[in-house]
């Protein structure tokens, strides 16, 4: 595995696998630091291609193209986690990749991820491995009447998830996933959802942003609000959870830890995203160093930036046809549009960030 011997200097090239809006905002942050980017995406219409000089359009498991990509990059990162592990390993033999294959493998599979989190002594919803109809039934019997069946891999924005309220429903949901290995989670009656966006540098330095409170609609993030309703002690606990996870993974880059806040105030880890996160977009306007710049700094071996927040803020996603109202939205706050030609229902088209004086 290639290591980073020295920081990537201005003028160097950061490779970003994945050309969606996260890749686009990473590329824009890199440009501000005088770094070049090369974006690798498996379709030609990637939003990030519009903001980078170097781009490669090839399948994510095309080992020859990945080798050519590694050739032009001084460091490589990715903007989504559902990448073939062997493709990342192939890259990592040729160029420094952060976060590395280990962090990716740990977070690609919900069972591996939750088992890892539990071993760190952190709380999660109860979860059970489901690989057969019999196991689905047995797992449901261990819950208190409500659960969510989730495929272990390749789920996002609510895809590969079904709420269940009986053993029969659990079996049906498992069959609807065509028998894909899954986990059954106990349903958490949370008081709210928050996330911690944090960064760990090449030298082990750590910086965490104030946790936003997140509201989802139809399984898609609608709004992130900072500050959340967490107490100062809960904020410290949430940041400490992210640090424990980042340290245990020997992580380099930005990660997001999604948390449920229980009715008793306890913090339960729902999911770890090994990348910049939608609930951290507000950091562009409300912090000195955004999550995107922070990630680029970490990947390039630079010192981490200041993650402190200078304003209260609400970030709202612009989804599907809502983007048609861009002119009205532009009057309401800092508007970001991702350059996507087609506004399909449920597609994240942009976001708007509204600042207020810090309370
Ligand atoms: P996930 O894909 O695991 O992040 O889940 C997406 C969303 O579904 C979460 O943000 C929650 O709103 C909801 N959800 C997921 N798991 C649970 C659970 N065990 N209990 C209650 N709600 C959940």
The answer to whether residues 49 and 38 touch, using CB atoms and an 8 Å cutoff, is no
Report which DSSP code applies to 194: E
d(CA 97, CA 188): 35
CA of 259 relative to ligand 1 center, distance in Å: 9
Q: Which long-range contacts (CB under 8 A, 24 or more apart) does 286-289 make?
A: 286/226, 286/310, 286/311, 286/312, 286/313, 286/353, 286/355, 287/209
Let me know whether 301 and 250 are in one domain: yes
List the CATH number of the domain containing 256.
3.30.470.20
Whether residue 17 is found in the same domain as residue 50: yes
CA of 268 to the centre of ligand 1 (A): 11
Token pair recorded at residue 92: 């990592």
- 23 inside domain: yes
Q: How many domains does the chain have?
A: 3
What is the per-residue pLDDT across 122-179, written as a single tens digit (0 to 9) for each?
999 999 999 999 999 999 999 999 999 999 997 766 678 999 999 999 999 999 999 8
- List Cβ neighbours of 147 (8 Å cut-off, separation of 6 or more): 139, 140, 163, 164, 165, 170, 184, 185, 186, 187
Cβ–ligand 1 contact at 188 (below 6 Å): yes
Q: 188: CA distance to ligand 1 center in Å?
A: 8
Angle between helices 110-119 and 101-108 (to 10 degrees): 100
**Gap between the Cα atoms of 33 and 296, Å rounded:** 9
pTM over 0.75: yes
Question: Domain residues for 62?
Answer: 13-97
Q: Are residues 334 and 236 in the same domain?
A: yes
Give the ranges where 177-221 is alpha helix by DSSP (H). none
The last residue of a domain, from among 186, 207, 229: 186
| pLDDT tens sequence across 35-61 | 999 999 999 999 999 999 999 999 999
Helix spans in 20-132 (H)? 21-32, 63-72, 85-92, 101-108, 110-119
Q: Which residue has the tokens 């549009």?
A: 337
Residue of 270, 278, 317 best suited for mutating to test ligand 1, as the one with most atoms within 8 Å of CB: 270
Distance 215 CA to ligand 1 centre (A): 11
221 vs 83: which has the higher pLDDT: 221
Kindly state whether residues 168 and 212 are assigned to the same domain. no
pLDDT confidence tier of residue 308, bands split at 50, 70 and 90: very high
Are residues 216 and 76 part of one domain? no
Residues 36 and 69 in one domain: yes
CATH for 91:
3.40.50.20
Minimal-distance CA residue to ligand 1 atom 19: 187
Same-domain check for residues 350 and 207: yes
Judged by DSSP in three states, 224 sits in strand
104, two tokens: 């990716």
Q: Whose CA is nearest to atom 13 of ligand 1?
A: 219
Among residues 104, 93, 72, which one has the least CA distance to residue 8?
Answer: 72
Helix (H, G, I), strand (E, B) or coil at 213: strand
From the CB of 270, is ligand 1 less than 6 Å away? Answer: yes
Q: Report the relative pairing of strands 213-217 and 348-356 from DSSP bridges.
A: unpaired
198 lines ligand 1 (CB under 6 A): no
Query: In the 8-state DSSP scheme, what is residue 295?
Result: H
In a domain, 147, yes or no: yes
Is 153 part of a structural domain of the chain? yes
pLDDT in tens, 237-290: 999 999 999 999 999 999 999 999 999 999 999 999 999 999 999 999 999 999
């Amino acid at each position: 595995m290639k290591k980073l011997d020295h920081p990537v200097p201005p003028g160097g090239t950061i490779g970003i696998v994945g050309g969606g809006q996260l890749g686009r905002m990473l590329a824009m942050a890199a440009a501000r630091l005088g770094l070049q980017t090369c974006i690798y995406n498996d379709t030609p219409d990637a939003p990030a291609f519009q903001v980078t000089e170097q781009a490669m359009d090839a399948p994510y498991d095309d080992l020859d193209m990945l080798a050519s990509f590694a050739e032009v990059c001084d460091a490589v990162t990715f903007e989504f986690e559902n990448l073939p592990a062997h493709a990342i390993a192939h890259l990592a033999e040729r160029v420094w990749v952060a976060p590395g294959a280990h962090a990716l493998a740990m977070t690609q599979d919900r069972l591996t991820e939750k088992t890892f989190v539990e071993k760190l002594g952190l709380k999660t919803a109860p979860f059970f491995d489901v690989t057969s109809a019999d196991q689905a039934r047995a797992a449901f019997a261990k819950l208190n009447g409500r659960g969510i069946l989730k495929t272990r891999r390749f789920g996002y924005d609510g895809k590969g998830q079904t709420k269940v309220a009986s053993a029969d429903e659990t079996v049906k949901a498992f069959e609807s996933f065509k028998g894909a290995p899954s986990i059954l989670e106990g349903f958490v009656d949370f008081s709210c959802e928050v996330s911690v966006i944090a960064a760990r540098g090449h030298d082990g330095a750590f910086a965490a942003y104030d946790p936003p409170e997140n509201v989802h609609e139809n399984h898609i993030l609608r709004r992130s609000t900072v500050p959340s309703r967490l107490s100062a002690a809960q904020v410290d606990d949430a940041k400490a959870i992210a640090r424990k996870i980042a340290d245990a993974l020997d992580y380099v880059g930005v990660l997001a830890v999604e948390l449920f806040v229980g009715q008793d105030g306890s913090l339960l880890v729902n999911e770890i995203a090994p990348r910049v996160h939608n609930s951290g977009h507000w950091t562009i306007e409300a912090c000195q160093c955004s999550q995107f710049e922070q990630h680029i700094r970490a990947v390039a071996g630079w010192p981490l930036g200041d993650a402190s927040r200078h304003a209260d803020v609400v970030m709202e996603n612009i989804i599907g046809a809502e983007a048609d109202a861009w002119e009205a939205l532009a009057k309401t706050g800092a508007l970001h549009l991702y350059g996507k030609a087609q506004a399909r229902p449920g597609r994240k088209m942009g976001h708007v960030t509204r600042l207020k004086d810090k309370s």
